[in-house]
Chain A
């Protein structure tokens, strides 16, 4: 193989190693996996057992815990007992009144120490109050201020509640969708070129790219399904993003069926090119517009609210973008092989 001509094939090796090794070996930031008490009452002590992930409660000094309400209202812990590196017993003395005119509020748990940095469990604790006094509540809850150690030690991926380690799926599941989209664009370009130039080569290209794109789409749906089973508890739920990706896949399977059902080579190429263009443009509102209109459980849509930003941070991006390039190259390579096989078959048929 000529290295100068096929450098992009060789690029797969370093990229693949980088994505697999860095993507799988970089540890997650410390976080909170679970707590055992979700209900607190105003005026009573609230004790809770916290399970951490990747955290070092035993060697950390200056352990702090906060219970935070909606915006700036928070209280600090009354008691902390360390049971192990990932095991913590906390107690808060909840003030008599909450800073709200309703009879309940939702609290966020924040842990902080100088080794791990802050870890957050957003909006899980339900606080109830019998008597309402907003003025006193405001005063009682604004005595402490949030001063976090905010250490950033080493290269780590963010810890997201519920997602945990599956945030690494960004490099596989999400990247494969992007690669699919890259292939669909190539297929579209070839279909447009076919309608302009009427060369069969373009038709073969378009169909081969679409085939590999469908393979990637199926992989995307299967991987997403497995992930959903262990996150949402079902292989398939009725969510906008899921429905839309399934519909997009249906459209392209219909494209292949259309190709299979027309015998005449010339009209097959013409009609399938037209359908390809139509389907691609019809898919734009499907994939980009409608999921953005409605709320979705899917990560990346505000399903995991947290203190620090979005589901995709700069460190994830350092692996995510190479992963997109990697899967796009692999998709391009696979379709290239497919194209060559198809062309040879065509030549053999025409020779006979």
Chain B
């Protein structure tokens, strides 16, 4: 099982490496949005920085996730189905998407702090939240993107279906980043982290359970 998962992830990385322009496109999207933010806000406050960071992150991740399943041509779809167990496939997808999103979040943070300000004082807390957030968002959006690619107008559908699901995660993340940037003095950060982890586990578990029934066609 682990062997299969690693194999699929390798395959994905290779595919993305071959289509460099698509990753570069997402990164460029992130940079362009950050630049717009820098131009619109002459002087950005810490609270708005947090809000904008997570909003940009949602859009960047939706943008990159739409590739995740849309890039699968029909032929490869069947190839995957005959080759691997759906549970392995979805686990591999979640792991790959998590690291993909974490990478994008780091890129976004790098450019946000370069162009505007860097309000984060507690870096380990922030990156921990970033990782758990990427995990949760990755699991949810990769599940929803399968649904969205089957419908018409999949790009809009992905946003409509996933944004309401992401709101609890994003609210928790906002709270944690506010604490990490020192504007919120909260002692219940550990409970927030537990909640975030619980939501992550919930969405991973659900996608593992529901993925096989979606995969069969």
Contacts and interface: CB of A to CB of B under 8 A. Distances in A.
A277 interface: yes
A293 B196 CA distance: 13
B214 A251 contact: no
A293 B160 contact: no
A196 to B, nearest CB: 9
B199 interface: yes
Nearest to A290: B168
Given A278-B165, A281-B202, A282-B165, A262 B151 contact: yes
Given A251-B164, A257-B157, A258-B147, A285 B203 contact: no
B202 A274 contact: no
B32 interface: no
A254 B160 contact: yes
Nearest to B203: A282
A58 B188 CA distance: 52
B153 interface: yes
B21 interface: no
Nearest to A198: B213
Interface in B174-211: 188, 191, 195, 198-199, 202-203, 206-207, 210
- Which of A248, A258, A261, A286 has the largest number of chain B CB atoms within 10 A? A261
B195 to A, nearest CB: 7
Given A258-B151, A267-B150, A289-B195, A274 B214 contact: yes
B188 to A, nearest CB: 8
B141 to A, nearest CB: 12
A244 B203 CA distance: 18
B137 interface: no
**Range for the number of chain A residues in contact with chain B:** 20 to 34
Interface in B122-171: 140, 143-144, 146-147, 150-153, 157, 160-161, 163-165, 167-168, 171
Interface string A264-279: 0001001101110111
B14 to A, nearest CB: 29
B112 to A, nearest CB: 25
Interface of A: 195, 243-244, 247-248, 250-251, 254, 257-258, 261-263, 267, 270-271, 273-275, 277-279, 281-282, 284-286, 289-290, 293
25 contacts: A195-B213, A244-B168, A247-B164, A247-B168, A250-B164, A254-B160, A258-B161, A261-B151, A262-B152, A267-B217, A271-B146, A274-B147, A275-B144, A275-B147, A277-B210, A278-B207, A281-B206, A282-B203, A284-B202, A285-B195, A290-B168, A290-B171, A290-B195, A293-B191, A293-B195
Nearest 8 pairs of A and B residues by beta carbon: A261-B151, A250-B164, A251-B164, A274-B210, A262-B151, A271-B147, A254-B160, A247-B167
Given A262-B151, A271-B146, A282-B202, 19 more contacts: A195-B210, A243-B167, A247-B168, A250-B163, A250-B164, A257-B161, A258-B147, A258-B157, A258-B161, A261-B152, A270-B213, A271-B151, A274-B210, A275-B161, A278-B203, A282-B206, A285-B195, A290-B168, A293-B191
